[in-house]
Amino acid sequence: MSEGKPITCTAAVAYEAGKPLTVEEIVVDPPKAHEVRIKVEYTAVCHTDAYTLSGVDPEGAFPSILGHEGAGVVESVGEGVTNVKAGDHVIALYTAECKECKFCKSGKTNLCGSVRATQGKGVMPDGTSRFHNKKGEDLLHFMGCSTFSQYTVVADVSVVAIDPKAPLDKTCLLGCGVTTGYGAAVKTADVQKGDTVAIFGAGTVGLSVVQGAHVRGASKIIVVDINDQKKQWSLDFGATDFVNPSKGLKDGQTIVDKLVEMTDGGLDFTFDCTGNTDVMRSALEACHKGWGQSIIIGVAAAGKEISTRPFQLVTGRVWKGSAFGGIKGRSEMGGLVSDYMDGKLKVDEFITHRRGFTDINSAFEDLHHGDCLRTVLDLSK
């Protein structure tokens, strides 16, 4: 029995920005009150992990254990934990849900105030870390999840139990990319039948927006991506059109001109899934005058700012953002898992690569290739 004792296991440690992760043995302390220790079975690598490792995340701190798209089995729980128990199959939640704070009670947002401040500093809610390397140095947590370790400790508000019949090597993707894009379409934007939609960036997040817009019966779903390899995937997930702005435009035509022309004045909804602030501007300006809404999902580097002429907003276009697709993890993840199990939500289709955990640096390389949506890592290998 490991309960109550430190566990020595393998983790991938980010010691320095811009450097490969170090795969080494670490020590994971037992969970304290209102904490949960999880045996992570599978994790995928999200673009945001690469963003933070690159050094451009204002909240990025080192040494740390990255990873936030993971699923596993509860090994043990600390005092006072009632929402999960040892043996439960779980998904780690980077957007916590305490159900008690001002945010959770507002009914207006999925953002939760309970642990976000300490999460951003890379520590548990009591201000300390559960991770130590063999030299005895503390290692920071990341996004309240740190799934790049065979064992992790999270706050009880940052974990949800799921149907044990659901395969963890697939449902790990619901920890971020798929949920984020799908939720942005069906919750944040609340796309309705017949709406016109454009998605900039066809990675896992963008293609999940496509999936959500398709499920809602959008009449036009235009994907904009600079990589032609994304065309077939876009169509497979339900896009009606694909535009590559680096070659699909007439002389002097901008991507905004092209989209406005294709939609008789602009789109009902656009989504940025690139993190590029110039793209965000185009996405806003491609919205229909009077009512078009542009949803920012992409994460931009420190120092980057968005801009447009205020006239764009005065004339009725709306700029919004979406974190984790507006989904409340503890209340709504069960529904997404059953939709997946019932064949109503595609998840498997995003897994283009599989690797053993110790090959994690290659998984970061995979992200830079057009043939990769998600690499799933098996923590047992």
Q: Which tokens belong to 281?
A: 């501007």
Among 65, 90, 267, 323, binds ligand AHE (CB under 6 A): 323
Of 255, 28, 24, give the one whose Cα is nearest residue 131.
28
Look up 48 and say whether it is catalytic: yes
Look up 372 and say whether it is catalytic: no
Look up 101 and say whether it is catalytic: yes
Residues between 92 and 131 with contacts to ligand NAD, criterion CB under 6 A: none
Q: Is 204 in the site for ligand NAD (CB under 6 A)?
A: yes
Residue 171 sits at the vertex; the CA angle it makes with 76 and 228, to the nearest 5 degrees, is: 145
* Choice between 41 and 69, CB closer to Zn ion: 69
Contact 88, 36 (CB under 8 A): no
* Choice between 131 and 182, CB closer to ligand NAD: 182
Look up 98 and say whether it is catalytic: yes
User: 3-state DSSP helix/strand/coil percent for the chain, to nearest 5?
Assistant: 30, 25, 45
Residue 99 sits at the vertex; the CA angle it makes with 96 and 101, to the nearest 5 degrees, is: 85
Look up 145 and say whether it is catalytic: no
Site string for ligand AHE, 88-107 (x = CB under 6 A): -------x------------
Q: Is 58 in the site for ligand AHE (CB under 6 A)?
A: yes
* Choice between 10 and 118, CB closer to ligand AHE: 118
Q: Which residues contact 368 (CB under 8 A, 6 or more apart)?
A: none
Look up 9 and say whether it is catalytic: no
Among 36, 44, 176, 256, binds ligand AHE (CB under 6 A): 176
Q: Is 216 in the site for ligand NAD (CB under 6 A)?
A: no
Among 147, 149, 188, 274, binds ligand NAD (CB under 6 A): 274
Q: Which residues contact 83 (CB under 8 A, 6 or more apart)?
A: 156, 159, 160, 161, 330
Among 34, 38, 48, 153, binds ligand AHE (CB under 6 A): 48
Among 11, 46, 284, 336, binds Zn ion (CB under 5 A): 46
Q: Is 65 in the site for ligand NAD (CB under 6 A)?
A: no
Q: What is the DSSP string of 170-199?
A: HHGGGGTHHHHHHHIIIIIS---TT-EEEE
Read off the DSSP letter of residue 66: -
Q: Is 226 in the site for ligand NAD (CB under 6 A)?
A: yes
Among 59, 126, 228, 236, binds ligand AHE (CB under 6 A): 59
The least CB distance from residue 245 to ligand NAD, in Å, is: 6
Inter-residue long-range contacts of 260-266, CB under 8 Å, 24+ positions, other chains counted: 260/286, 262/220, 262/222, 263/196, 263/198, 263/220, 263/222, 263/288, 265/289, 266/292
Look up 47 and say whether it is catalytic: yes
Contact 33, 148 (CB under 8 A): no
| Residue 316 identity (one-letter amino acid) | G
The least CB distance from residue 323 to ligand NAD, in Å, is: 4
Active site residues: 46-48, 68-69, 98, 101, 104, 112, 116, 176, 374
